[in-house]
Amino acid sequence: MQPKYQIQSFEEYQEKYKLAQENPEGFWAEVAEEFQWRKKWDSVCQWEFKTPDVKWFDGAKLNITENCLDRHLATRGNKLAIIWEPNDPRDRAIRLTYRELHEKVCQMANLLKKFGVKKGDRVCLYMPMVPELAIAVLAIARIGAIHSVVFAGFSAHALADRINDAQCNMVITSDGINRGNKQIPAKRVVDEALKTCPSVKTVLVKDCCGWTPHMEEGRDYWLDEEIETMSRVCQAEVMDAEDLLFILYTSGSTGKPKGVVHTCGGYMVYAAYSFSNVFQYQESDVYWCTADIGWITGHSYIVYGPLLNGATTVMFEGVPTFPDPGRFWQVCDKHGVNQFYTAPTAIRALMACGEDHVLSYSLDSIKVLGTVGEPINEEAWRWYHIHVGKEKCPIVDTWWQTETGGIMISGLGNHSPLNPTHAGYPLPGIQPILVDEKGNEITENEVEGLLCIKHPWPSMLRSTYGDHERCRITYFSHFENMYFTGDGAKRDKNGMYRIIGRVDDVINVSGHRMGTAEVENAINSNPHVVESAVVGYPHDIKGQGIYAYVITEEGCPNNENTRAEIVETVVHEIGKIAKPEKIQFVSGLPKTRSGKIMRRILRKVAEGTADNLGDTSTLLDPDVVEEIKNGYIG
Ligand code: WTA
């Protein structure tokens, strides 16, 4: 029962690629035929990248959850939709069939309606990786509301910013979060955030830890109690293809995170198409993506992509190293995982714990391995290939972004040539190009350039929430008629792409995007700090770490205490994921005469390659560079 759009060989890939390039509309219309629409589209794609204004399947009507759930009931009603593996291996896994998941989504949808959530309203989810998170995502989509999932590692301050930007009227959370041997108070963070979020009228609280948090009368309700009496039937709201499906905040080069907007029809088609092809999912397979639903990977490849294909998707509450670094592999054996998708940073962290933890599991169910989120180094690739894949499984190195909605460049299961550290070839329908600084296309192979996309694809972002101009400036103003990714890439002699990394002021810490300006704003909010500059530096496990140069006020002791205070401020403002690894106190920053910080210099120092600083003659105060070099923290 593989969908018609699943590619079966490299030759077929090449054919399809050509077809999609010559006739994108015809190609995507054929793929879209495989879905359940309430009404078909009037036009397949209308677009211009100036504004930008992109529409896919305009005029069509659908509900994505009918495609994720209802459509499968006749043939897959008793098939497992979700296998939930708890944080603690001694606790019981939860298995939900498509029929059960459908009922639970309907119940949750009815509960949302009872609390007055309507089509177009925004609902914020700040939750651990429990089944209710996936259920809530789908329930929100079912009634035509818009979900904004905020990763539950963000601080109250960061959460409040996101709730306010989207003007959410409901938050769904839990009392606490089980993570390894720790329990984290989620509800307390929400309470703190809501002090400054007047739009929120209701908070639903899932019991995950058995705690008794503060419950605000008339605002906070226990999810489990409320949902019990809800009907298991709920008609899906009929949506236009271009109605908003979700908002997901991501970091960019400015201080304020932006709400990337995805819409119903195109996102559905591409999430499903890319899932089926990249992972080569077969009907009885068990698929596991270890990401958190708080990131785009969890949206597209834990929830929507797999469910749209009627797949069995594993959801994991815990962490890779609890109770020991064999946890991932134990779960793979326990549930017979066939496709395993994780991040290079997790592989490197487990690699550092030694082979024994992986060698004690058979892993013989695994057919396809995947990575996402950052470039994978050759050593980690080999370790993954040899010890996890037993040298018999392809590794799909999937390049994509929150903004692209789905995987753009990647191998397709075992149908593509393997080339460690190379994401490979673009999926059919995706037209990447490399350009130079001026936007001129570089057409040859064995070159390096800025990675852009020259034709729209169904799951591309449509806007940045509440500020369309920002979307234009960030992605469509650098080069005419192209989407600019912010990444640099190489193309080898065979036309395979190798992603080098960000060329803008975004750093990638453990596969999480952080804007340097965002971290600087957080650091600067510490009262001792006068000014700061943040850059990334190579980090063995995290890929990149955060290196901060900080100027403190007169009289402030530049010691470990102050460092700890600054770190604390960042944790308070953003969350633990943005903790600077190294803080160097400086008396000044290298600036040009026009006052611009020369980050190139700061990056070189942080990378430990300061002997070769290039031209510093435009600096206002060259002495400061000597001081910075001398104070380098190695
Ligand atoms: C980086 C994650 C190299 C890239 C899905 C991109 C990668 C950013 C890869 C998006 C990969 C993602 N190889 N780099 N396979 N996948 N990236 O929005 O810099 O969290 O621009 O989406 O991660 O991060 P985001």
Task: Indicate if ligand 1 lies below 6 Å from the C-beta of 399.
Answer: yes
CA of 263 to the centre of ligand 1 (A): 21
Domain 12-63+263-499 class?
alpha beta
- Distance from chain centroid for Cα 318: 18
pLDDT, tens digit (0-9, with 9 covering 90-100), for 177-191: 999 999 999 999 999
Identify which of 372, 419, 427, 484 to mutate to test ligand 1's pocket (most ligand atoms within 8 A of the CB).
372
Distance, in Å, from the CA atom of 146 to the CA atom of 262, rounded to the nearest integer, reads: 10
pLDDT of residue 93: 98
pLDDT in tens, 459-516: 999 999 999 999 999 999 999 999 999 999 999 999 999 999 999 999 999 999 999 9
**CA-to-CA distance for 172 and 124, rounded, in angstroms?**
6
Express the helix, strand and coil content of the chain in percent, nearest 5 each: 35, 25, 40
Atom of ligand 1 nearest to the CA of 376: 13
Q: Is the Cα torsion angle 516, 522, 524, 528 positive or negative in sign? A: negative
What does the pLDDT read at residue 617? 77
Cα-to-centroid distance, 451 and ligand 1 (Å): 12
> What separation in Å is there between the alpha carbon of 299 and the centre of ligand 1?
15
258 contacts: CB under 8 Å, gap ≥ 6:
249, 250, 252, 464, 465, 467, 470, 471, 474
Using DSSP's 3-state secondary structure scheme, residue 136 falls into: helix
Give the residue among 544, 556, 482 at the shortest CA–CA distance from 511: 544
Same fold, 89-237 and 510-630: no
Establish whether residue 400 lines the binding site of ligand 1, counting it when its CB lies within 6 angstroms of any ligand atom.
Answer: yes
Distance 488 CA to ligand 1 centre (A): 11
Per-residue pLDDT at 253: 78
Q: Where are the beta strands (DSSP E) in 417-457?
A: 432-435, 441-442, 447-453
Give backbone dihedrals phi and psi of 300, rounded to 5 degrees, phi first: -80, -30
Residue identifier of the C-alpha nearest atom 25 of ligand 1 = 401
Q: Which residues of the chain have pLDDT under 50?
A: none
CATH 3.40.1740.10 corresponds to the domain 89-237: no
Ligand 1 contact, 280 CB (< 6 A): no
510-630: CATH topology is: GMP Synthetase; Chain A, domain 3 (3.30.300)
* 256 neighbors 249 (Cβ within 8 angstroms): no
| Ligand 1 center from residue 80 Cα (angstroms) | 30
Strand residues in 436-555 grouped as ranges (E)? 441-442, 447-453, 463-464, 483-491, 497-502, 506-509, 512-515, 529-539, 543-552
461 class by beta-carbon count within 10 Å (0-12 exposed, 13-18 middle, 19+ buried): buried
* Residues 264/239, Cβ–Cβ less than 8 Å: yes
Q: How many Å separate Cα 330 from the centre of its chain?
A: 25
- Closest ligand 1 atom to the C-alpha of 295? 20
Ligand 1 lined by 13 (C-beta under 6 Å): no
CA–centroid distance, residue 502 to ligand 1 (Å) = 9
| CA 375 – ligand 1 centroid, Å | 8
Domain map of the chain by residue range?
12-63+263-499, 89-237, 510-630
Q: Residue 314 belongs to what H/E stretch?
A: strand 312-316
- The Cα 320–Cα 326 span in angstroms is 7
pLDDT of residue 491: 98
Closest to 419 (Cα-Cα) out of 504, 491, 337, 519 = 491
Ligand 1 proximity of 374 Cβ (cutoff 6 Å): yes
Note the pLDDT of residue 623. Answer: 87
